[in-house]
Structure 1
């Protein structure tokens, strides 16, 4: 660039900077000092706006000064080349931002008449400043009101400077020539200054129109609508338009709101980011209203539609349009789906609530958060304005820091389907809801202090309209178990009551499970009492009936194993609501957006869920395309087992998410008060049913994967194949997830038998190997005598553990796995170790007959000292694959059970002595 242009530009910048300094000295600083601490709100607002204006003005001065310094450096250092060194061209973004901020702060002062407010009390002072103003601002007219002069003095220098720069830059471009490398930068600078000119003029026009509007409105309307940053874009008094069916008298379009006036008052006011424009007609959709804007002329309709669209897009961007509002060739189409926050005002379910989340066509749609003024929160999925899908709902209680929390599924604004409700009263309900009420199968835990008929109760059964209704089972902390029928939360008809000592009552009850009416008690010793029962405050429980002591004593193993709920609560229908969202997910083709409905129950803390970022759960869910692709690659038996184990072990997989939810329902039903031996049958049924359902779930995912790949779906399995896959493949993989709670129930159910067994083990282990082998009538030629031989350095207490040691150590591994098949394999290996030891003793291969196997197995069992062996045996019997029934595994398990019963009888024997095993049957 030649020195002539350098010098001219330098002079232009120096003059502009000097003018800015004069404005700061003679206007802005006196304005700020005019009333440093105003007391009234209006004065405080004026001071805040002036401080904002002063700050943006200082930024404008700083940018101009830096630009001037850059020019001076070029002038005094001729070796400096390239127009990029000029701040004007090299930092266009900051240059633009500073100018726009100053224009915005200046026009905000104009809109609310800040200069008029400030100079009203200081008119004489400003007249005395006229000479100083004339000195620093020779080009500004000093005629007219003081506030007008000050407003012009703060705007006119910038307007003139922009007008002067454009011709200069055009001249600079002409001097460079078309091929000069800096020609593109100069062209950008010209565009920048012209855009700033357009933006400034539009901002001034909008400020002037807005100021005139506030002047024309009543003080009440002005107070309701006027804000410094708000700008009027269109008034129906200028271009007539009618809002139907609202019949508003006047329509005002601002850059941040659409206001409908009716009877001199705003009948509707919506943020522009909450306005949707219809496609076919000029419909305006807001979160609480829907109306159309109709103009008398086509041109008016086009103008209004264009400006509304522009205002919506501008509001969504969160900044002013640049270079000017509507500078594009056509009006943009506002997005139908977006994210925003809005507070509902109309009466109804959402009145006063603030929704922050995803929208579609003016309705909450997608993921979002609702917050009510009374402290209620809802985080979850919405569909067309209503809670729909998975969500968490938190309701504060009167007591401090107590909440009712619902985590579950919603349908059209109401709790519907499976959910978990944690009440502030320490009650917890896990089950089905319908239309916002507990309805269907569910489990309710009541705290001991809760005002319930049964203190500290655990209810498993049917609900209707938030009340217990239909068959159900109640377990109390006192150990009582009731099975019967409820109607409107009341027990009706006969029922069954089991006490902790296994006494059985069949008859009618009061609400607190007191015997009343006709009934029959069967005691553990077999005695029965039949007649009528009653109770009173002074007399306690009384009866009138017949006591029968002639009955034979019942089999204790049957008396204490009575089970409740079997048949009354069909296993197929207990937890259908848990599977429903999964099958909706599968039937929809496994879309990724529905995965959160399967994942939400895994949130450990309700408050953590309420505070989490929307979409974070979706990000963790994994891509369904990858899940289905991997599924297709692992269909062979060995690969399928590995795949299912991986899928069920991670909550990133739909099967893992489903299993995790089933674990929560199982824990809710059979832990705490629910850990009762009379519920073991229910629990066993559920585990097997879950295995069947999870296998069906895998098959459902497989069919979706095949369809997406365009392959032919697999044919339906026959019952035999399905049962073989369920028991041989799925059940062993599923059982570990329920094992802890399930095995606890087996422990409780077989506690008496295991206690007798433990006493027998204690007796047997009082004696050394030789005495025990002799007592068990093990043929002497089968004894491993070499293992029993003592050396001079050994004690008998050390030697006893050497006999059949490999078999003992093998059997002890039966408690290290939860898989019934693996437990049976351990038992088979134990038999093999016994047989191998005998073969070594005999020096030849030897197959043990049953008469020889049983006493040796009793010896191994006694030395293995496995705790709760009865619970282990019965769990294996109940959970093993039916294909093994009558086979080798079944034979070995029967032999182990016989040993278990034999050991129980040992508690009564005096050792050593002779014991004929044939007497034990």
Structure 2
């Protein structure tokens, strides 16, 4: 078959009006299938053979587009063939084959896909003028065929070049086929009722083919406009803008519009970009990152992009409306990543572009973001939400952004000079700078965990060197503008010493205490990292030096030494090479040896560092959070997060991860915490609530307590476990309890305010507040500090407890009756025979074992099975011990009997000696110091005084060398 006869078939349609709709559709599909076959044979294949192996890029592009058009034509032919076959089966077997079996009705998705691919392939060829180029390369062949093309394109009345006729031959059969399908499908629908199973399928097919007609017309118009644009542009602009990926939607030469501040000569709207031509310069804006807003007047609208803010002004309001509508529709289409169907602006998504988007973009303008690529969420032309920012030099920020700046939690990597090593900042950010809590790992050298302000370390923080560092250290304390300033503790592992005191501009400055590994302690005033003026030195054996020092903390100048023996040496001190420490003064040996209990008076730091001002950097973030009304967005900046364990810094997602206390999906937790706070107001319920809150790392009170525990351990463990710091630690624990109670009260006021209730006024009476602190908060807080605190008490009272243990050993040699006699217990109070005692006393008298129930009760104060460190509960156990003693005596006397102090004290002394409690002195003093003031001068105070008297009597008077001479211990045993 020749070209002329083939084209005649292409443009001649069968008469379909006199047969059934299904027969008419079959004839229509059969004719269209023949046309597609002829198009392939007589147009597409000759076009592909024009230049099968082009050498220049332009020719290669044309060949690729023709090959794509050929493939899509083949797919369209295959689809039409399957549709024809399904119609044939339907007509041959109408009873067994339903309408839903027709490809034309049941394969809507595939029909849409195949037609869109063909339309896209054809219009891409139109945009880059493929048909003009191939016609030029085989001009003689196509000139011969031009008259035949014009003759057989029925229904088209125009005279044009060969390339135009080729284009008509490739798209007109499809247009006519879609046009004739719709009325035939309407006829088919007329043969069905709405209840017919195929009704919806036919309706969908009608809509689909109608939409394809509209889409084809729009695509042809856009392709023609884009092709025509190329004739009005310079060659380099034509190659840049008139590409298969672009479709021109609007040109300012058709509807004038001016752009400022860029004085553009021409504004072009494509389906993916907005282009401003300004002389030889081309300003291109990705539509996915274009936001459209109304202007200041009816002729203006604004366009926001990541690096430009443009104002587009039309001649009148109609022109402005057309441009604004088309730009908005194009933005929506670009964000969906596919063309609107059936026409621009008629997609499924809203016509207004979404305010929030997720797109990747590389910044070009000079500034801190120059050449950086941001990938993440945007709003109004600014990074806003979650995203990743990467610079070419390897810097990388992953986290939250707000209006173009880092804001919220983020992780920032900065490469170091050494390979595969980075500074890693896991912090909270505010307006582009670190603010709030953060963890920063500086290469493989140091780690900082603490608070920031305006990008600098500020507030409380811990700076820790790597273990393998040349000078390992740890600083725990306050910072100001990236420098150690205020109260802080630094441990120097190389020198084996710990400094506790004040800092200024990264140097020790002000009152301070130095504790060394050798047990020597210094206290004095530091200036520019050196001690100046008078100070004191305490040696491990409690010798005390008071005077001046050299720069290396050696006694120098006037001073006085008080030895542990009580001797004093007062005079001038010095040191020199080969001479060691020398002195010239007066030695006084007349003084008596000091009482061991006098060590309690030699406490360092007390008074030098007011307890209420030591850890302001820990309290202040919480106070600021409460003053701000406990906003949920600041909760994580307050509570912080946990980083992964330290490892070699690597730039991967595993390293960047960390466990956050308050992820954003729990942003409402603060509201829940405040609501729960109001449910527990009665003392018993409040104590239960506070216990739960203090145990939770996700609760502000629990976070505050954990930070205070960190400071306590940094101060009083290791080198800080020194008996001369007991007073410092003891008053610190009490202050922490007061601050935690104030923190609870602050949260309560915020909770009441949010519910519209009147704030609860706190008593101005200091005694009442102290009773609340000691009665509610201190018993809950003390366990968190007890281990370190009790260690200090043990060290402080080590000598007394050693003497006490010696006295207990001596008394254990006595049988019960002899010991009762030795302690001057009246004999009528002795339980001399086996008695039936109460159930809680058990069988306390077996052979010579007396007062066993009281002994067991007293042992519960600090035995290894004890589950409490609450002084109140221990005092209650002491009270129960005394009641058990009275109960045993009452049983002996056969009547209720209240023991006077003269009788109770010797019996309690007996019970204490038999209880054999280790470190009783340390325990008594800790209970005394932490006791609720409400018990002062009360029953508990009375019984604790009695126990203390028994303890002192044992360690002072019951040692072997002080036993009465008429007692022969060997005979007594």
TM-score (norm 1): 0.79
Confirm or deny: 8 A CA contact 1:534 1:543 kept in the other structure: no
Confirm or deny: 8 A CA contact 1:426 1:447 kept in the other structure: yes
Listed as ranges, the matches of 1:355-366 within 5 Å are 355-366=374-385
- Does residue 884 of the first structure (1) align with residue 935 of the second (2)? yes
Confirm or deny: 8 A CA contact 1:757 1:901 kept in the other structure: no
After superposition, the Cα gap between the structure-2 partners of 1:628 and 1:444, relative to the gap in structure 1 and judged at 3 Å, is closer
Distance in 2, Cα, partners of 1:108 & 1:875: 88
After superposition, the Cα gap between the structure-2 partners of 1:343 and 1:772, relative to the gap in structure 1 and judged at 3 Å, is farther
- Does residue 859 of the first structure (1) align with residue 913 of the second (2)? yes
Compare 81-90 and 395-404 and name the one that shifted more.
81-90
Confirm or deny: 8 A CA contact 1:276 1:362 kept in the other structure: no
Confirm or deny: 8 A CA contact 2:124 2:244 kept in the other structure: yes
Kindly provide the CA deviation profile for residues 729-764 of structure 1, in whole angstroms up to 9, marking residues without a partner as x. 34444455x44xx62254256336358747965995
Kindly provide the CA deviation profile for residues 689-744 of structure 1, in whole angstroms up to 9, marking residues without a partner as x. 554454444444444544554544444454455444443334444455x44xx622
Per the TM alignment, residue 579 of structure 1 is displaced from its structure 2 partner at its CA by 1.0
Matched residue, 1:727:
774
After superposition, the Cα gap between the structure-2 partners of 1:110 and 1:604, relative to the gap in structure 1 and judged at 3 Å, is farther
- Does residue 309 of the first structure (1) align with residue 328 of the second (2)? yes
Matched residue, 1:578:
621
- Does residue 269 of the first structure (1) align with residue 285 of the second (2)? yes
Matched residue, 1:188:
204
After superposition, the Cα gap between the structure-2 partners of 1:409 and 1:735, relative to the gap in structure 1 and judged at 3 Å, is farther
Matched residue, 1:288:
307
Confirm or deny: 8 A CA contact 1:517 1:533 kept in the other structure: no
Kindly provide the CA deviation profile for residues 291-313 of structure 1, in whole angstroms up to 9, marking residues without a partner as x. 21112233222221111222222
- Does residue 619 of the first structure (1) align with residue 619 of the second (2)? no
After superposition, the Cα gap between the structure-2 partners of 1:286 and 1:46, relative to the gap in structure 1 and judged at 3 Å, is same
Structure 2 SS opposite 1:190:
helix
Compare 643-652 and 797-806 and name the one that shifted more.
797-806
After superposition, the Cα gap between the structure-2 partners of 1:647 and 1:439, relative to the gap in structure 1 and judged at 3 Å, is closer
- Does residue 250 of the first structure (1) align with residue 266 of the second (2)? yes
Matched residue, 2:11:
none
Distance in 2, Cα, partners of 1:122 & 1:148: 15
Structure 2 SS opposite 1:310:
helix
Compare 30-39 and 875-884 and name the one that shifted more.
30-39
Compare 665-674 and 524-533 and name the one that shifted more.
665-674
Confirm or deny: 8 A CA contact 1:810 1:829 kept in the other structure: no
Kindly provide the CA deviation profile for residues 218-240 of structure 1, in whole angstroms up to 9, marking residues without a partner as x. 56556766764333322323322
Determine which of 405, 409, 415 is the counterpart of 2:434: 415
After superposition, the Cα gap between the structure-2 partners of 1:315 and 1:851, relative to the gap in structure 1 and judged at 3 Å, is same
- Does residue 482 of the first structure (1) align with residue 522 of the second (2)? no
After superposition, the Cα gap between the structure-2 partners of 1:613 and 1:855, relative to the gap in structure 1 and judged at 3 Å, is closer
Per the TM alignment, residue 353 of structure 1 is displaced from its structure 2 partner at its CA by 3.2
Per the TM alignment, residue 570 of structure 1 is displaced from its structure 2 partner at its CA by 0.3
Structure 1 SS opposite 2:663:
helix
Distance in 2, Cα, partners of 1:686 & 1:108: 79
Matched residue, 1:528:
545
Distance in 1, Cα, partners of 2:70 & 2:800: 92
Matched residue, 1:792:
none
Distance in 2, Cα, partners of 1:787 & 1:428: 68
TM-score (norm 2): 0.75
Distance in 2, Cα, partners of 1:326 & 1:698: 57
Confirm or deny: 8 A CA contact 1:359 1:365 kept in the other structure: yes
- Does residue 743 of the first structure (1) align with residue 801 of the second (2)? no
Listed as ranges, the matches of 1:451-490 within 5 Å are 455-470=471-486, 472-477=488-493, 478-483=495-500, 485-490=502-507
Confirm or deny: 8 A CA contact 2:373 2:389 kept in the other structure: yes
Determine which of 549, 562, 581 is the counterpart of 2:604: 562
After superposition, the Cα gap between the structure-2 partners of 1:63 and 1:636, relative to the gap in structure 1 and judged at 3 Å, is farther
Confirm or deny: 8 A CA contact 1:379 1:391 kept in the other structure: yes
After superposition, the Cα gap between the structure-2 partners of 1:577 and 1:485, relative to the gap in structure 1 and judged at 3 Å, is closer
Compare 53-62 and 96-105 and name the one that shifted more.
53-62
Structure 2 SS opposite 1:638:
helix
After superposition, the Cα gap between the structure-2 partners of 1:765 and 1:298, relative to the gap in structure 1 and judged at 3 Å, is same
Confirm or deny: 8 A CA contact 1:480 1:498 kept in the other structure: yes
After superposition, the Cα gap between the structure-2 partners of 1:220 and 1:630, relative to the gap in structure 1 and judged at 3 Å, is same
Confirm or deny: 8 A CA contact 1:598 1:658 kept in the other structure: no
Listed as ranges, the gaps of 5+ residues in structure 2 are 1-17, 555-574, 647-652, 837-845, 968-973
Per the TM alignment, residue 488 of structure 1 is displaced from its structure 2 partner at its CA by 3.1
Distance in 2, Cα, partners of 1:343 & 1:396: 20
Per the TM alignment, residue 253 of structure 1 is displaced from its structure 2 partner at its CA by 2.3
Distance in 2, Cα, partners of 1:289 & 1:614: 36
Distance in 1, Cα, partners of 2:47 & 2:660: 47
Structure 1 SS opposite 2:285:
strand
Determine which of 364, 370, 390 is the counterpart of 2:389: 370
Structure 2 SS opposite 1:191:
helix
After superposition, the Cα gap between the structure-2 partners of 1:154 and 1:858, relative to the gap in structure 1 and judged at 3 Å, is farther
Kindly provide the CA deviation profile for residues 873-902 of structure 1, in whole angstroms up to 9, marking residues without a partner as x. 555445443323333444455555566667
Per the TM alignment, residue 389 of structure 1 is displaced from its structure 2 partner at its CA by 4.1
Distance in 1, Cα, partners of 2:267 & 2:708: 56
Kindly provide the CA deviation profile for residues 135-174 of structure 1, in whole angstroms up to 9, marking residues without a partner as x. xx99999999998777666644433332221222223334
Per the TM alignment, residue 652 of structure 1 is displaced from its structure 2 partner at its CA by 5.6
After superposition, the Cα gap between the structure-2 partners of 1:171 and 1:383, relative to the gap in structure 1 and judged at 3 Å, is same
Listed as ranges, the matches of 1:891-906 within 5 Å are 891-894=942-945
Distance in 1, Cα, partners of 2:112 & 2:859: 82
After superposition, the Cα gap between the structure-2 partners of 1:467 and 1:167, relative to the gap in structure 1 and judged at 3 Å, is same
After superposition, the Cα gap between the structure-2 partners of 1:516 and 1:448, relative to the gap in structure 1 and judged at 3 Å, is farther
Structure 2 SS opposite 1:586:
coil
Listed as ranges, the matches of 1:626-637 within 5 Å are 626-637=672-683
Per the TM alignment, residue 819 of structure 1 is displaced from its structure 2 partner at its CA by 4.2
Listed as ranges, the matches of 1:596-611 within 5 Å are 596-598=636-638, 600-602=640-642, 604=644, 610=656
Structure 2 SS opposite 1:282:
strand
Distance in 1, Cα, partners of 2:418 & 2:770: 52
After superposition, the Cα gap between the structure-2 partners of 1:892 and 1:189, relative to the gap in structure 1 and judged at 3 Å, is farther
Listed as ranges, the gaps of 5+ residues in structure 1 are 789-796, 917-921
Compare 815-824 and 199-208 and name the one that shifted more.
815-824
Distance in 1, Cα, partners of 2:945 & 2:218: 95
Per the TM alignment, residue 282 of structure 1 is displaced from its structure 2 partner at its CA by 1.0
Compare 119-128 and 712-721 and name the one that shifted more.
119-128
Matched residue, 1:444:
463
Structure 2 SS opposite 1:886:
coil
Structure 1 SS opposite 2:174:
helix
Q: Give the number of the structure whose alpha-carbon radius of gyration is greater.
A: 2
Distance in 1, Cα, partners of 2:41 & 2:847: 104
Per the TM alignment, residue 289 of structure 1 is displaced from its structure 2 partner at its CA by 2.1
Confirm or deny: 8 A CA contact 2:523 2:604 kept in the other structure: no
Distance in 1, Cα, partners of 2:764 & 2:263: 67
Distance in 2, Cα, partners of 1:15 & 1:186: 21
Confirm or deny: 8 A CA contact 1:649 1:656 kept in the other structure: yes
Distance in 1, Cα, partners of 2:716 & 2:67: 67
Per the TM alignment, residue 259 of structure 1 is displaced from its structure 2 partner at its CA by 2.9
Per the TM alignment, residue 316 of structure 1 is displaced from its structure 2 partner at its CA by 3.3
- Does residue 810 of the first structure (1) align with residue 860 of the second (2)? yes
Determine which of 382, 392, 401 is the counterpart of 1:382: 401
